[in-house]
Amino acid sequence: MLEQRQEVDQDRTGVELFAGGGGLAMAVHRAGFRPLLFNEFAKRACETLRANGAVPVEEGQILPVPGPGEPCPIREGDIRKIDFEYLKGRVDVLAGGPPCQPFSLGGVARGDEDERNMFPEMFRAIRQIEPKAVICENVRGLLRPSFKPYFDYILRELALPFEERDESVTWQEHDAVLRRVLHKGTASAGRRYRVLVTAVNAADYGVPQVRNRIIVVAFREDLSVDIDKFKELVEPRYSEHALFRSMIEGSYWERHPKVPKEVRERVMARIPKELSVPDETLPWRTLRDAIAGIDEQKPLPPIPPKYLDRKERNLGGFTDHIGWPNARIYPGHTPNELDRPAKTVKAGVHGVPGGESVMLLDDGTHRYMSVRETARVMTFPDDWKLAGPRGEKMRQLGNAVPVALGEVFAKAVATVLHGAENK
């Protein structure tokens, strides 16, 4: 992870909570924030972070503050047992995706009643650390009408994290307090955050996957960051229509000259007859793009049918590029198509509803995507090590933030913080 840090003109720091398999942590680091601490509960995800350079610090041991070039410590286990006071005033950005099961369509939909709701711990960390900025990714389920009142409350808590909720107070009662404080404007700027919510499709940010999420970013009000500049920097740069135009004009097929004629004709036949006026967006990236290699990656070799046997063969020198047998397609369980962005990667081994882990090949056959192909769809680099059996690796990827998506927002945060501090 450390070698991926981009050069910046000052030492910026970050903390990653609910780090999972490292997608958002990697994105924040690539944007120039040196990691000071990781926290994660899941055993296999912790193994992944350790395999990529994090150093475990056992409970009871003092958490160090690493200097430039030193490895990042990871405190594994329950976030509720971590005292973050030692990091106060040291952190530029606090990042993390609190567990989304309470809000996901795939979860039990109990919302704030679910004990897995870790937003309160995120707010406690903010109170103790007082970061300049916060980045939080979560599922679109937070925007569902049934959760809208509670989500609005979450945003007000983030705006006023120092207005702490007593355990005996309901969230509705606490929300009423937050509303009054916001209305009166009595909280000092250093204890108040400007909160921005962006609904995103990862495909619009160069990720070869349709993945709808929300990114919540908050800036400490006393910094007076340029919010308009931030919004400009996180505007989508890719589009489906640009993908269609690249196919019509031929540049897409020039990148993939070996696509059979009948496949190309089938894809072209589905392009809308009328497209929007030309714009400056870039083409959506497709599953075929991911497999061929994006940003100087080498192409992944095909997996022959005889190799769909769970055996590691190190095809082409790539790890986790293993064939898996017994993929099925049927109504309601349709495969990914190569010339579209992949479907949303979910936290399952295979056979999850919708066929998200199955891909249709040019010869009309289908198979499960390998872990390495899935990692590319999540824009993880090929040298990122994933720990555990196949199911655990796929789960980590399904729960992660696509690196390319997180990097856009993290770089935008870095840019506006730099601008605010150098006015």
Return the active site residues: 100
C-alpha to C-alpha distance for 349 and 377, rounded to whole angstroms: 15
DSSP output for 366-415: EEEPPHHHHHHHTT--TT----SSHHHHHHHHHHSPPHHHHHHHHHHHHH
Q: φ and ψ at 44, to 5 degrees?
A: -70, -35
DSSP output for 112-130: GGSTT--HHHHHHHHHHH-
DSSP output for 7-18: P-SS-EEEEEES
C-alpha to C-alpha distance for 117 and 154, rounded to whole angstroms: 11
- Residue 143 tokens read as 């925007």
Long-range pairs, 380-383, Cβ under 8 A, ≥24: 380/21, 380/23, 380/26, 381/4, 382/297, 382/298, 382/318
- Sign of torsion over alpha carbons 63, 64, 68, 70: negative
C-alpha to C-alpha distance for 132 and 410, rounded to whole angstroms: 13
C-alpha to C-alpha distance for 210 and 329, rounded to whole angstroms: 20
C-alpha to C-alpha distance for 70 and 234, rounded to whole angstroms: 31
Give SS3 for 270. Answer: coil
